[in-house]
Structure 1
């Protein structure tokens, strides 16, 4: 089978990108032909399969010169559509598996796939198909509505009134023409929570199937868990990840915390930590080092305050035999078994998080037991073999 993988980033910028790149590699490893359609970037992982990269646009800091090009790309990218059409004519894929495409590609590619009779699968990695604010979170907290007016009123996109107007307008245009709902043959949701949320928010397209994420731990997954006496966090340093809550819990307990990652709130978080000697900011580190820290931690903390669609960072430690403390929110609420593979705390509950951290710190045997149970559950429910069978079943159904 020949599978076309489409994602706007081809470097590990976030969880969706890590998954898309891994899936392409795993499909090829299993004997399938894989071709990749993505966007140019200096950090791209060079695919060892046929690929086509289109030009990128500036999205972080718009100015009067770059804004028109970016807005045009968000609405309808002629380049993406034309390049994909040419790529399809050359490669003739059996099925296309789409991940994140908005902004850098736009949904202009979807009618192209339909025109050339390429069945389409889309894995949902966030809420960008239900709201212009793809995280449903802003400086005021969770946006329960995520509507046109709500996103603009709350400055829900990039904390900017102008950016919010642009994003909300583009989203409403795509919604009104139904470009996603009309052109996607099969939706894959990673949790039941996300599937239910799409239904509540009025999604009229394919009802979809649930296939949880899977994690390739590589050689780290074969090593025994080693408690080196620290608590670990890995993720983007952004308000949605709740690192500010973790810092306050660390202030109350005095327990040693290692924080891996970078992001827009790094300086603010370092300022919040101030002279605290029990917090160590590691910066951005390679994935293999992240997994090594996870394996050697007493526990991993995932204090997210937004509606995480899944939370890969809460699954990885379980596969390494390390217990997890996570917020009971969004898709994260389906990743742990409370009291068995880790502990749930309510989001933004500093005292609750501090208590949970202290509990596992004071009882390393309980932490070890939870880690062992987590590893067994990981092997039973999140194996690569199980995941790939479900993915291939979807592909086969669509092309048969």
Structure 2
């Protein structure tokens, strides 16, 4: 099988970029031929003023990306074009190029961009679903994309135009949601249920588990939607157990200024060092206040044999089984978070027991082998279904 992977990389190497790279490697290692069409938002730094201004229009329809992808389809004749992110340099025009070349199109839903210009279904620290049915005026009013009216308008223009054209229903043969919760949200947003299947993320090379530990750890971006301020407010009630915060982001200075005892800000570390911090911890914290579409850190924790204390919200409540692979707490509630954390601090044996359950859950659902079987099954079924139409 021959797969064309299309992805517009983000400036910061976050979870989505890592998953795309892992999926490519997983396929290649098992003999699948992979062709890539990759753009990078860092390209924009080299644009002149006119080309930057044109992004307002090319975000909706990039003739350059359309032409280049059409050429790749004609040259390599892929069986499937698998899309990840198209904003802003690829654009939905790429779907049309593939469709004209009779290439099957699969789109992974890494965030809520098709439903929300800000992609998070979050505004001012709270869940927001005002735009989910296609009226994007609230997003313009609140400048939901990068706090910029012009940039939000560019994204809204793209979403409205392609909703009107029927792009998201007619051009894409199948969507992959990372959890059942995400699938449900996109069905609410108008995607036909039969067009969305669920395949979770995975880890290619998980470490051997190590049960127990002598500190707690948070791994991730330091930004408002991640709920790290909630975590620090909970830690004011803990005090006697160390918390390591691994990661960086725009909220770091504000969080450090809270000066909470027994909290160490480690900063960003290479991906290979992330496992070292998780393996040394007793448990992992995941206090997000938005509808996470997945949260790869949770399955990294599971692989390491660590229970996860996560918000009882969105996909987190689907991945973490309360009292089996960790604990769920009321999102945004530092008191409830502190109460769950104390259970694992006071009872190291419980942490080990839940950690063993977590590793078993990882082995059952999140290995590369499981992911490969599921993904190849998805490709085969959508190709077969297209051929019978």
- TM-score, normalised relative to structure 2: 0.92
CA pair 327-228 structure 1, distance change in 2 beyond 3 A = same
2:6 and 2:37 in contact (8 A); partners too: yes
1:230 and 1:298 in contact (8 A); partners too: yes
* Other-structure match for 2:344: 360
Q: Given the alignment of the two structures, is residue 227 of structure 1 paired with residue 227 of structure 2, yes or no?
A: no
* Other-structure match for 1:252: 237
Q: Given the alignment of the two structures, is residue 385 of structure 1 paired with residue 373 of structure 2, yes or no?
A: no
* Other-structure match for 2:195: 207
CA drift of 1:226 comes to 4.9
In terms of mean alpha carbon deviation, does 172-181 or 197-206 score higher?
Answer: 197-206
Decide which of 107, 119, 124 is 2:109's aligned counterpart: 124
Q: Given the alignment of the two structures, is residue 154 of structure 1 paired with residue 138 of structure 2, yes or no?
A: no
Decide which of 180, 183, 187 is 2:175's aligned counterpart: 187
Matches of 1:82 and 1:282, distance apart in 2: 45
* Other-structure match for 1:32: 32
Decide which of 82, 85, 89 is 1:104's aligned counterpart: 89
* Other-structure match for 2:126: 141
Q: Given the alignment of the two structures, is residue 325 of structure 1 paired with residue 325 of structure 2, yes or no?
A: no
Q: Give the secondary-structure state (helix, strand or coil) at the position aligned to 1:262.
A: coil
1:113 and 1:120 in contact (8 A); partners too: yes
Which blocks of at least 5 consecutive residues in structure 2 are unaligned? Answer: 385-389
CA pair 394-11 structure 1, distance change in 2 beyond 3 A = farther
Matches of 1:198 and 1:70, distance apart in 2: 27
Q: Give the secondary-structure state (helix, strand or coil) at the position aligned to 1:187.
A: strand
2:56 and 2:151 in contact (8 A); partners too: no
Decide which of 44, 53, 72 is 1:57's aligned counterpart: 44
* Other-structure match for 1:399: 383
Matches of 1:15 and 1:140, distance apart in 2: 21
Q: Given the alignment of the two structures, is residue 241 of structure 1 paired with residue 230 of structure 2, yes or no?
A: no
CA pair 261-65 structure 1, distance change in 2 beyond 3 A = farther
* Other-structure match for 1:92: 77
Q: Give the secondary-structure state (helix, strand or coil) at the position aligned to 2:381.
A: helix
CA pair 205-355 structure 1, distance change in 2 beyond 3 A = closer
2:230 and 2:333 in contact (8 A); partners too: yes
Matches of 2:98 and 2:325, distance apart in 1: 42
CA drift of 1:154 comes to 2.5
CA drift of 1:20 comes to 1.0
CA drift of 1:102 comes to 2.1
CA pair 140-245 structure 1, distance change in 2 beyond 3 A = closer
CA pair 180-233 structure 1, distance change in 2 beyond 3 A = same
CA drift of 1:119 comes to 0.5
* Other-structure match for 1:281: 265
CA deviation profile, 1:134-172 (whole Å, cap 9, x unmatched): 111122521122241221223322123333333223321
In terms of mean alpha carbon deviation, does 110-119 or 290-299 score higher?
Answer: 290-299
CA deviation profile, 1:111-139 (whole Å, cap 9, x unmatched): 00001111111111111112212111122
Matches of 1:91 and 1:175, distance apart in 2: 30
Matches of 2:383 and 2:195, distance apart in 1: 18
Q: Give the secondary-structure state (helix, strand or coil) at the position aligned to 1:359.
A: helix
Which blocks of at least 5 consecutive residues in structure 1 are unaligned? Answer: 43-55
Q: Given the alignment of the two structures, is residue 370 of structure 1 paired with residue 351 of structure 2, yes or no?
A: no
Q: Give the secondary-structure state (helix, strand or coil) at the position aligned to 2:86.
A: coil
Structure 1 runs (4+) deviating above 6 angstroms are: none
2:179 and 2:315 in contact (8 A); partners too: yes
Q: Give the secondary-structure state (helix, strand or coil) at the position aligned to 2:195.
A: coil
Q: Give the secondary-structure state (helix, strand or coil) at the position aligned to 1:57.
A: helix
1:110 and 1:180 in contact (8 A); partners too: no
CA drift of 1:41 comes to 6.6
In terms of mean alpha carbon deviation, does 306-315 or 366-375 score higher?
Answer: 306-315
2:4 and 2:81 in contact (8 A); partners too: yes
In terms of mean alpha carbon deviation, does 379-388 or 74-83 score higher?
Answer: 379-388
CA deviation profile, 1:6-54 (whole Å, cap 9, x unmatched): 1111887222221111111111100111111111477xxxxxxxxxxxx
In terms of mean alpha carbon deviation, does 247-256 or 344-353 score higher?
Answer: 247-256
- TM-score, normalised relative to structure 1: 0.89
